Amino acid sequence: MTNLFLEDQQLNELTGIRTGSTQAGVKHSKYQLQALFLRQIGIAFIVNVRGNP
């Protein structure tokens, strides 16, 4: 049976995003960037209470 949820390491590998970034003084967490990436490629996900996809 396949797991329904990905571990943090698996999500890092899927998205290729392992750290946050700061551009033009605006900070984005790793999790915000991963959620944006998942939305752009059309993968459905739910953000948990901590803000992690």
Query: Residue 52 has what pLDDT?
Result: 92
pLDDT of residue 35: 96
Cα–Cα distance for residue pair 21/43, rounded to 1 Å: 22
Whether the CB-CB separation of 53 and 34 falls below 8 Å is answered with yes
Name the pTM for this structure.
0.87
Residue 17, class by beta-carbon neighbours within 10 Å (0-12 exposed, 13-18 middle, 19+ buried)? buried
For residue 47, the tally of other CB atoms under 10 A from its CB is 13
Tens of pLDDT, residue by residue over 1-53, are: 678 889 999 999 999 999 999 999 999 999 999 999 999 999 999 999 999 99
Return the H-helix or E-strand segment holding 28: strand 26-28
What distance in Å separates the CA atoms of residue 24 and residue 9, rounded to the nearest whole number?
Answer: 28
- pLDDT for 4 equals 84
pLDDT at residue number 29: 95
